[in-house]
Amino acid sequence: MNAATSKPELDSEQCTQELPPFRVILHNDDVNTFEHVIVAILQLTPLNEGDAITCTAEAHETGCSLLLVTHQERAELYVEQFAAKSITVTCEPDV
């Protein structure tokens, strides 16, 4: 192949572009029990039991709690998964 038709080589930094981070936020409600929310967090996220309890208590006391930060597609998936369990979770850009 000559230089005009060969494909340029990409280094690993060009291939692995970082996706913009999104915050996943748990909201308080008057419907779900602490236990239900904690179990859902443990089932759906990589958080441990202590973190799940802390986030649930914070959401109860202040109205919302940051669960985790991830890329947009996964954040939106968390929103859908928690909604399926009747728990309000939203996502927003982490600016």
Sorted by where each starts, the structural domains of the chain and their CATH numbers stand as 19-93 (3.30.1390.10)
The Cα 39–Cα 10 span in angstroms is: 44
Q: How far apart are CA 46 and CA 86, in angstroms?
A: 19
pLDDT tens for each residue of 10-43: 444 444 468 899 999 999 999 999 999 999 999 9
CA–CA distance, 20 with 49 (Å, rounded to integer): 27
Q: What is the pLDDT of residue 95?
A: 87
